[in-house]
Amino acid sequence: MAQAQCPLPPLLLVLAAVVLLVPRAAGYPWQVCGKTGNFTANSTYQANLALLAVALPKNISSSPDLFATAVVGAVPEQVSALSLCRGDANATTCSACLVTAFQDVQNMCSFDRSAAIYYDPCILYYSDDGGFLSSGDNVASASTDRINLRNVTSDPARFNRLVGALVNATADYAAYNSTRRYAAGEADFDQEYPKVKVYSWAQCTPDLTPAQCRVCLAGIIAEMPRLFTDRVGGRVLGIRCSYRYEVYSFLNSPVMVQLALGSPTPAMGPTSVTPAAAGGGRKYSVPVSVLVILLPTIAGLLVINLLIWLCLWRRRPQTGGTQSNPTHSTETEGMESIESMIIDISTLRAATRDFDESNKLGEGGFGAVYKGTLPDGNEIAVKRLSRQSAQGIGELKNELALVAKLQHKNLVSLVGVCLEQQERLLVYEFVPNRSLDQILFDTEKREQLDWTMRCSIIHGIARGLQYLHEDSQLKVVHRDLKASNILLDMNMNPKISDFGLARLFRRDQTQGVTNHVVGTYGYMAPEYVMRGNYSVKSDVYSFGVMVLEIVTGKKHNVCRDDDAWRSRDEDDLLSLVWDHWTAGVVPEAIVDPCLGRSCFCRSDVLRCIQIGLLCVQEDPADRPVMSSVVMMLGSDTVSLWNPSNPAFYGRNRAPATSS
């Protein structure tokens, strides 16, 4: 008898619908080439443009608003430029993005006297007509719009009204409530399931007045009905103002605008522009009494539905004689193995003494981690996801399915999971020496790490990555590899942890593209930061940064934190190591002094630095795969090729110009 099919619970239907709405690749960068003429190679105009390429990234990194303009040369060879970074970017990312922008736009718009280029973190526009610097004009000819081709499938009219209200409210806040002319917003898509949200962003250049900013935004928002009706995402990017909305979070900053449940939603399009009084502006909030009632209820529904979903996965009938999808099969097996690992809440409360503060090991963006002891005496680490955690059902399912399936001595082991009493708990093996960053970057504890131990840690991380990329049943890209996600056991053996952002690849898949760049700046590869492209080579880049941190004992943004190194031009570890490498004063000048002078002349120290530099090459094709890295680390007979400039290197230096 055929097994009866159980329908998905209503909440899961909504969540599934949202997953289907996630857009395809962003396709960054987007360039708009000018039509005002061309310049010739080695001309004065090109030389002035080269000077701008040096000055502007330096100016914008020192600007509190991450906004800069510059003019170089005299008419008719004068070049004017404007650059702005998104409100959630930091100075290092902003400057690096602008360096890449100058390089890319001159390749894509070769010899054009005016051009614009857009990335997620930054925009750049230059022209031989500098009138745009003072006019407040949005330079419409250089604007670009992008439409998410997926349609809203449920109540599109209400969705359009919601988007119109949210975008206009966000534009109001950016114009009238922010000196940076930047705002992020969110609204609940469905009153019954408020976890399903729409997110928005609006920003103007900060030199515009509030009224100029709002008028600029109103002009491009007016195109919403024509461009984005029934679309789950869209954006218009301009030189002076831009906006965007999506059905997923795409910013790394707090939300300034929240539309209340049941608030009125006007039709999609601009509202009337009425400048608010200084310090005024609209405020959108959900009453506290409503939140007190709704949040526990919603959390309970999520837990119940997830448990039902797990059961449904296990009971799915298997059809013989058909070719199964390997990814689908892997996820199913992963969920079945998770169900067998469920631990009841009473056991974990007893193990952690009801999550006592004295047992807290640390706290991150997704929640706190507690030490505990099970009745059999085994020590555990319990990751308690907060109810306000950014890690939702998707990330939780992702981490569970991946970690349960992966088994390697250099990966942290999942012991169990608990989804009771509105709790979301992941139970891992306890790793007594905590994370690498807590020892490596501590002025006293770092002395515990002699060179032999640091070599062992580097080798262990490399072997764990090789397993993820090449040797396991799955092909996994971690996407958040950093020193704080490397745990050290009793014998200081490294274990890669935190798979909440990891992605599963097919065996024949070489890369993925996302519109939602997440991770830690400094460890993320340039192609991922700028274009959303990620692959195993993205993890190789992160590994290379960690190798150089382990050898030097310095963080990747060392020169911002260490007065002894601040006099140098560089503001990152990669540039500093590269300068010493090319000057031939490696390793003594940069090796961690805690290692002692005996390490300064060791060939394996120099070899590790060279491997680290090879892993952080700007072009992913120039980086080795992890199996090659493991061979390089394990044998002196494997020859190494010479590295070139690392990614983001030289952003404070003038390019060579022909005389």
Which sequence spans correspond to the domains of the chain? Answer: 23-134, 142-259, 341-430, 435-558+570-634
What pLDDT was estimated at residue 107? Answer: 87
pLDDT category at 156 given cuts 50, 70, 90 is confident
For residue 522, pLDDT beyond 50:
yes
pLDDT category at 287 given cuts 50, 70, 90 is very low
Residue 401 or 416, more confident: 416
What pLDDT was estimated at residue 321? Answer: 38
Average pLDDT, the chain: 78
What pLDDT was estimated at residue 587? Answer: 67
What pLDDT was estimated at residue 35? Answer: 76
Collapsing DSSP to helix, strand or coil, 534 comes out as strand
- 59-73 confidence digits (pLDDT tens): 998 899 999 999 999
Average pLDDT on 47-52 reads 93
> Which fold would CATH assign to domain 435-558+570-634?
Transferase(Phosphotransferase); domain 1 (1.10.510)
What pLDDT was estimated at residue 396? Answer: 63
For residue 25, pLDDT beyond 80:
no
For residue 154, pLDDT beyond 50:
yes
Closest by CA to 498, choosing from 631, 618, 580, 402, is 402
Average pLDDT on 589-612 reads 83
Least confident of 179-183, 216-220, 324-328, 632-636: 324-328
Superfamily of domain 142-259: Gnk2 domain, C-X8-C-X2-C motif (3.30.430.20)
Q: Do domains 23-134 and 142-259 have the same CATH topology?
A: yes
What pLDDT was estimated at residue 598? Answer: 65
For residue 483, pLDDT beyond 90:
yes
Residue 5 or 460, more confident: 460
Burial (0-12, 13-18, 19+ Cβ within 10 Å), 230:
middle
Closest by CA to 549, choosing from 461, 467, 625, is 461
For residue 557, pLDDT beyond 80:
no
Average pLDDT on 256-262 reads 75
Annotated binding site: 383
Burial (0-12, 13-18, 19+ Cβ within 10 Å), 435:
buried
Contacts of 579 (CB under 8 A, 6+ apart): 568, 570
For residue 596, pLDDT beyond 90:
no
What pLDDT was estimated at residue 18? Answer: 26
For residue 185, pLDDT beyond 50:
yes
Least confident of 331-335, 625-629, 631-635: 331-335
pTM comes to: 0.56
Burial (0-12, 13-18, 19+ Cβ within 10 Å), 328:
exposed
Q: How many whole angstroms separate alpha carbon 186 and alpha carbon 193? A: 14
Average pLDDT on 626-654 reads 79
Average pLDDT on 126-132 reads 85
By residue count, the chain amounts to 659
Query: Catalytic positions, please?
Result: 480
Residue 518 or 125, more confident: 125
Unique residue bearing structure tokens 């195109």? 223
Q: What is the dihedral of CA 12, 399, 403, 437, to 10 degrees?
A: -170
What pLDDT was estimated at residue 290? Answer: 36
Give the count of beta carbons closer than 10 Å to the beta carbon of residue 77: 17
> Which fold would CATH assign to domain 23-134?
Killer Toxin P4; Chain A (3.30.430)
What pLDDT was estimated at residue 14? Answer: 26
What percent of the chain is predicted at pLDDT more than 70?
Answer: 73
- 358-387 confidence digits (pLDDT tens): 999 887 666 788 999 988 888 999 988 766
What pLDDT was estimated at residue 474? Answer: 81
Average pLDDT on 492-521 reads 86
Please name every residue paired with 72 in a beta bridge, in sequence order, or none if there are none: 79
- 540-551 confidence digits (pLDDT tens): 999 999 999 999
Tell whether domain 341-430 is in CATH 3.30.200.20. Answer: yes
